[in-house]
Every structure is written in structure tokens, then in C-alpha cells.
Structure 1
């Protein structure tokens, strides 16, 4: 069963990984997104994430359910609130019987989350504040 969490509590990567471990899976792929300092020439000092939680959770379920129906397991944790440089903003993990599925599904989850889940970031840069997702 998938595990989906949107919360202001820090993400424990080992705890998330343990939710994926199961004898039926031979491949586990994980993505951990952290707050980076530089995006090209733009220097970030911190990021604040916010979400419309009920809708975000429904969207995450729509992403996870088809993968689970095909025999995979999905774990997603996304932070909200103020995050400093190097803090973990998002964890996506997918377990599958084989590595090819795990890689493919993990990439699908993070890419789809970024485009379809109502989670927004307010990026504090050295020159101004930017909004994005």
C-alpha cells in the first residue's frame, strides 16, 4: 500500500526507504530533492513550500494507485514550511519487481508530482522573491 505524506516535519530518508523494502521487490529507485543554493546565476537563501493539502493528497493518490495496481509500491513525502539550504524537500521512492520498472515509475512520479500536485514554492533569492512549483 502506498505511503503519501505532505507535512512540515523533516523527511527521514531511511524511514522512507524501509517502507519500500519487501521480499517481492528486486528494484528500489529513490529520488531525494534538496534545497540548492544556485540555479544558474540565481542564488537562493531559503524556500517556503505550501500546499492545498486535500487536493494535493488526492492528486498523489491518482499518481500512486496505477503503479500499485501494476505491482509496485510508491512512497512520497513532501515538506511544507520554510526550508534552508540542503534540507530535504521531497522524497519519492518506488519499489518494483525489476529495476527497469522502478526507474521508470520513480521518474514518472516525481515529474508528474511537479506538474500536477498543488504544491507551491516561494523562493527567497539574494535579489528578489520568486514563486513557482
Structure 2
């Protein structure tokens, strides 16, 4: 059963990993996104994430269900609120019978989440504030 969370609480990687462990799965793939200092020549000092919670949860469910119907397990946690450099912003984990599916599904989830889930970031850079997703 999947676990999907959008919260201002810190992300506990060890807890989320344990939610993926099961003898039926031979592959676990995880992606952890952190707040980086540099994007090219732009220096970031902090990021503030916000979400339209009901729609974001609905979209995450829509992303997770097809993978689980194919036999995988999905764990996603995204943080909201103000995050500093190196703070964990997002965790995506997939357990699958084989590694190829785990890799493929994990990348699909993070790419689709960034494109379709209403979570926005306000980047505080040294020169100005930028909005993105």
C-alpha cells in the first residue's frame, strides 16, 4: 500500500525506506531532493514550498495507483514551508520485484510530480526572489 505525504515536518529517510522493505520486492529505488546553493550562476539562500494540499494529494494518488496495480509499492513525501540549504525537500521511493522497474517508476514519479502536482517553490536568491515548481 502506498504512502503519500505533504507536510511541513522534516522528512525521515530511514522511516520512509522501511515502508518500502518487503520480501516480495527485489529492488528499491529512492530519490532524495535537497535544497541546493547554486543553479548555474544563481545562488540560492533558502526555498519556501507551498502546495494546494487537496489537489496535490489527489494528483499523487493518481501517479501512484498505476504503479501499485503493476505490483510496485510507492512512498512519496514532499515538504512544505521554509527550507534551508541541504534540507530535504522531497523523497520518492519505489519497491518493485526487479530493479529495472524500480528505477523506471521512481524516475517517472519525480518527473510527473514536478510537472503535474500543484507544489510551488519560492526561491530566495542573492539577487531576487523567483517562483517555480
**Which interval holds the TM-score relative to the shorter structure?**
over 0.9
Structure-2 residue corresponding to 1:31: 31
Structure-2 residue corresponding to 1:94: 94
User: Structure 1 CA distance, aligned partners of 2:110 and 2:74?
Assistant: 11
Structure-2 residue corresponding to 1:72: 72
Q: Return the offset for 1:68.
A: 0.2
User: Structure 2 CA distance, aligned partners of 1:104 and 1:80?
Assistant: 26
Map 1:8-47; keep pairs closer than 5 Å. 8-47=8-47
User: Structure 2 CA distance, aligned partners of 1:5 and 1:129?
Assistant: 27
Structure-2 residue corresponding to 1:62: 62
> 4+ runs of 1 displaced by more than 3 Å?
none
Q: Deviations over 1:79-125 (max 9, x none)?
A: 00000000000000000000000000000000000000000000000
Say how many residue pairs are matched. 133
**What secondary structure does 2:67 align onto?**
helix
Q: Deviations over 1:13-48 (max 9, x none)?
A: 000000000000000000000000000000000000
Q: Tell me how large the CA RMSD over aligned residues is.
A: 0.2
User: Structure 1 CA distance, aligned partners of 2:41 and 2:107?
Assistant: 27
User: Structure 2 CA distance, aligned partners of 1:38 and 1:68?
Assistant: 36
Gaps of 5+ in 1: none
Q: Return the offset for 1:3.
A: 0.2
Gaps of 5+ in 2: none
Structure-1 residue corresponding to 2:116: 116
User: Structure 2 CA distance, aligned partners of 1:12 and 1:53?
Assistant: 20
